[in-house]
Chains A and B, each alone.
Chain A
Amino acid sequence: MNQAVISCLHANLPAVEAVLKDIELQGITNITCLGDLVGYGPQPNEVIELIRDKKIPTCQGCWDEDVVDGLDACDCSYPSQLAEKRGHFAHQWTTDKLTKENKDYLANLPYSIRKDKCLFVHGSPNSQHEYLLPDMDAFAALERVENARAEILFCGHTHQPYIRELADGSIAVKIKNAAPKDIQEKEIQLPMRRIVNAGSVGEPRHGGTKATYVVHNEVTNEVKIREVEYDLELTCKAIIDAGLPQIFAWRLKNGFEFAEQAEDASHVCER
């Protein structure tokens, strides 16, 4: 039994269509989406309607939340003032474009979806805005999965797909300042856990131009990263026609990793 997990569609309809086609060709019907249906891209309503049409269970992404609740991310989530300005512009553009019905849909998306041992979130179990980067502190990463009571945590938000296994962990503790007769030392074994980042369908930041998503075999637990080509000229043209910042098109076309991501990606806005 295979399930597909997609994330960060970012209003890029040709990319979403191509990925859904790729999933269909594999005979997979079980799909979960990790949010960010909108933002950056030119077809927010179309993408939302496609996902609603297909009844794909979806978590709320950072963009989905911000478009509904007003900007929540602080300035620190942008690498420069220029990037921040572009982000705010795209935010406003998207807010203006969305129909009331689609806004309501985004507003009512859940923060997380749980299926047995799998937990699906956008950023991390703590926040839609927290980045779980592939090389973040291994204990902190394990803590995110463990405290969410999951065995596999599916996330997105970084736009870089990866599969991370955290195994053979242990922590030894000792009580100082205790009476000698009491048990003072013990070693705690940590469980094996995995974090799977689905990458991004509509705004990849893995260095290439292909849309990415993941396929998880629920029986063997194997996870595969899929890369899908799509007609990016179509999206780039739509970005420019819509009057969105041209850099969004340029980025898609060149597959630049560089994007609207803070230097300290582990930073979580406390606001």
Chain B
Amino acid sequence: MIERWALVSGLKGDLDTYELIQKDLKKTPGNITLFVLGDMIGPEKNCNRLLHRLINPKSNDLQPWCIYGWWEEQILLESGYRGDQRAETLRINKGEEVVKSLTNAVDKSFLDWIAALQFGFVELDCGLIHGSSKDIGENLTLDTPPLTLLDRLTRLQVNRLFTARSKEQFHLELTEGTVNSEVEDLNGNRKKEQKVPQKAVIGIGAGKNYTLYDVGTDNTQFVQAGYKSEKRIKGFGML
């Protein structure tokens, strides 16, 4: 049986989209594991129904594996789960109103569950995170310098990094890399050529846009919930 991952993020309380994705996945062939890479909550909608469903899946739901995202980090900050810090970045950038909407959108009874979520998963040689291995709020896109992408891969010691924060869908391979290093210290000189094996960064999308990953063939499919899957048409030329 084909091993597939479904990678979802940015639901922000949208239970309808989540149900649509669950419906899609029932029709998708293969043995599917569902990962939700953060931003299950957001300030726009009441998130309690979605959170309840994620924690208590229906009998025919695929079990979701969740990590926390940027919005979860904000509510944990604001609710005192990170020591003395509060969600100041959010407050400064979006204002007090948004901070209030966020705390109102999530019942306090869910906070301990959110606080217990992990920063990311490492499965096989893949890292599944919300932003980057450096910062939960970091956007990785096709425009991110490859050196930065390589660093974020190296930090997690993985060959593939699935990221959600930018909301974009892309599959960028770092096919080859080389650099010459020469170190001089009190013991003398040493030279080394360092090469990197093939690595990739995959943007999984957000909301209705999610990604199917075929573990065996390393192929991605960018899908919109409720539509039949289609390959995304995008290259450097369009960005």
Which residues B182-212 have CB closer than 8 A to chain A? 182-186, 192, 194, 196, 200
- Among B174, B178, B233, the residue within 8 A (CB) of A179 is B233
Residues of chain A contacted by B222 (CB below 8 angstroms): 177
Nearest-neighbour CB distance to chain A for B70, whole angstroms, equals 16
CB-based contact A166/B236 at 8 Å = no
Instruction: Give the docked Cα–Cα distance between A175 and B142 (Å).
Output: 9
**Known contacts A139-B151, A139-B177, A147-B148; is A175 also within 8 Å of B183 by CB?**
no
A190 to B176, CA, bound (A): 13
A185 cross-chain contacts in B, Cβ below 8 A: 175
Q: Are A137 and B236 in contact (CB under 8 A)?
A: no
Known: A166-B180, A173-B175. A227 touches B186 (CB 8 A): yes
Interface size class of A (residues with CB under 8 A): 35 or more
Contact A207 B175 (CB under 8 A): no
Q: Which A residues are in CB contact (< 8 Å) with B29?
A: none
A89 CA / B193 CA spacing, docked (Å)? 43
A residues less than 8 Å from B124 (CB atoms): none
Q: Is A100 part of the contact surface with B, judged by Cβ < 8 Å?
A: no
Q: Flag the segment in A42-50, A155-163, A236-244 that touches B.
A: A155-163
Determine whether the beta carbon of B177 is less than 8 Å from that of A161: no
Q: How many angstroms from the CA of A174 to the CA of B173 in the assembled complex?
A: 5
Residues of B within 8 A of A173 (CB): 146, 172-175
Select one of A134, A147, A183, A227 contacting B237, CB under 8 A: A183
B185:A160 contact, CB within 8 angstroms? yes
CB within 8 Å for A225 and B220 given contacts A139-B179, A140-B154, A175-B235: no
Q: Are A172 and B174 in contact (CB under 8 A)?
A: yes
Report the bound CA distance from A227 to B142 in whole Å: 46
Kindly provide the distance from the CB of B166 to the nearest chain A CB, expressed in whole angstroms.
15
Are B147's CB and A146's CB within 8 A? yes
| B12 close to chain A: CB less than 8 A | no
If over half of B's interface residues share one DSSP class (helix, strand or loop), that class is named, otherwise mixed; here it is: strand
Collect the chain A residues with CB atoms within 8 Å of residue B162's CB: none
CA distance A167 to B180 in the complex (A): 5
A164 and B183 CA atoms in complex are apart in Å by 4
User: Closest CB of chain B to A263's CB: distance in Å?
Assistant: 16
Contact A165 B182 (CB under 8 A): yes
B18 within 8 A of A: no
- B4 within 8 Å of A (CB atoms): no
Which of A135, A171, A225 gathers most chain B CB within 10 Å? A171
Q: Which residues of A contact B233 (CB under 8 A)?
A: 178-179, 182
A183 in contact with B176 (CB, 8 Å)? no
Q: Mark A69-88, 1 if CB is under 8 A from B, else 0.
A: 00000000000000000000
Name B residues whose Cβ lies closer than 8 Å to a Cβ of A. 134, 142, 145-148, 150-151, 154-155, 170-186, 192, 194, 196, 200, 219-222, 231-238
- 9 A-B pairs with the lowest CB-CB distances in the bound complex, closest first: A182-B235, A169-B179, A179-B233, A162-B185, A143-B151, A178-B235, A176-B171, A171-B146, A138-B194
21 A-B pairs with CB atoms under 8 Å apart are A139-B147, A139-B177, A142-B147, A143-B151, A161-B186, A162-B183, A162-B185, A163-B183, A167-B180, A169-B177, A169-B179, A171-B147, A172-B176, A174-B172, A176-B172, A177-B171, A177-B221, A182-B233, A182-B235, A182-B236, A207-B186
